[in-house]
Amino acid sequence: MSDKKTSNQMWGGRFASGPAAIMEAINASISFDRKLYAQDIRGSIAHSEMLAQTGIISAADQEKIAHGLNTILKEIEAGTFEFSTRLEDIHMNVEARLADLIGSAAGRLHTARSRNDQVAVDLRLWVKDECFRVAEALKGLIGALLERAGEHAATVMPGFTHMQAAQPVTFGHHCMAYVEMFSRDLSRVRDAIERMDESPLGAAALAGTSFPIDRHQTARALGFREPMRNSLDSVSDRDFALEFLAMAAICATHLSRLAEEIIIWSTPQFGFIRLSDSFSTGSSIMPQKKNPDAAELVRGKTGRINGHLVGLLTVMKGMPLTYGKDMQEDKESVFDAAETLDLMLAAMTGMVSDMTVNAAAMKKAAGSGHATATDLADWLVRTLGLPFREAHHVTGRAVALAEDKKVSLEKLALEDLQSINPGITSDIFSVLAVQNSVKSRTSFGGTAPSEVRKQIRAWKKRIAKA
């Protein structure tokens, strides 16, 4: 057996040339960091302009560099650029092509810069751009929820605790709960943008540079508020990526909760909503089935985003200052989480806009489970002056009696109720109907249609200004 054959068996079939092939495979990131091409070229042009204005390179060389970089940008966007794993990453691929195009002037671009601050600025720019995209998608989803809430501000449905019917609410009020959730996600995105709005470019490898660079100029040119204030932190910080993933995980959790409700509501047992064929699939064996696959996939993809957050937290937890190649693991998780979240937001916006609401089924379910029991207790407190705990006990007996007679609370005879408490009058029936129960919840943020409509108007104004 030859040494070459032994080596091949040792390293495995994929790595026919031994350790060098393994090193190239584990070291190269061009397969995924090519996604940063626009940010990399943008950062390089800004850096070259600063180098020329500070006299570090000539204006003639800067013009060649900028022309070459714009040519590369067009090549990549046209799909004619040849990426090489031998050149490891997007930075070296672009730099090598630039040298092909403009010759020795290309070598001046990397003056006063390292791949450490270069990759930090590229990824930060990409995440910042993605945050703006997520913000717009969230506004679209919130807008869709506001429209459904307005249509169903008075549509009665059961509210649940422990997945048991608790008190009647309206579907509009339920939609507005998700408006609140996704508005917090929108706030988190904007907060994250504020914190990541600092440029690491110019920190070089880790200690800054002896060249007379102007970091404020490059920060402004790239749309950052200011440069980062510590060169060590500039190249080692990945908080912006972690914060994006944390925001994405929380937002995905909200999407998953709504997806779970859509799945439950669309079952024949509930029948509260129906999704069109656009967001459903059939069964390969059961012709009667209509499966809410889009909602199920939103629910399932949440675990994927959560995993990316935990993964990057784990990478960063053991990183001493400053840069380590471990940080190459930051990009795939961020890219995949962003792509996944974008898809989830689009799918949920589509489902919210698409669903057909079965108001009759909701209303029927709202009256089940003695959902107006709390209204009975409140009436006893308000009208008869009973302490709430005593009223709670009286109501419990009324519920037990209704269950014995197999009727709802509002169907109990007045004599039945008076057998429990003689002070009860026929006025009690005005609060036991689910519609009246809902209308009575006029406290700020309550489910009364009038209050729901106030919140809808207020949120439409906020989103219009956002």
Catalytic machinery residues: 162, 283
How is residue 119 written in tokens?
A: 């990759």
Contacts within 8 Å (CB) and 24+ apart, 253-257: 253/302, 253/306, 254/178, 254/181, 254/182, 254/185, 255/298, 255/302, 255/344, 255/345, 255/348, 256/298, 256/299, 256/302, 257/181
- Both tokens assigned to 201: 């470019």
Give the residue from 101, 112, 32 showing the smallest Cα distance to 73: 101
Phi/psi at 239 (5° precision): -60, -40
Residue 453's SS3 state is helix
Q: What is the DSSP letter of 281?
A: B
Report yes or no: 175 and 459 within 8 Å, Cβ to Cβ: no
Give the Cα separation of 202 and 230 in Å (integer).
11
Burial 377-408 (b: 16+ CB within 10 A, else e): bbbbbeebebeeeebbbbbeebbebbeeeeeb
For the chain, the C-alpha Rg in angstroms (whole number) is 31
Distance CA 323, CA 119 (A): 11
Could you count the other beta carbons within 10 Å of the beta carbon of residue 251?
26
What is d(CA 226, CA 327) in angstroms, rounded to the nearest whole number? 24
CA separation for the pair 159, 142 (Å, rounded) = 21
Give the 3-state secondary structure percentages of the chain, helix then strand then coil, rounded to 5: 70, 5, 25
Phi and psi of 166, rounded to 5°? -115, -70
Rounded Cα gap, residues 261 and 159, in angstroms: 12
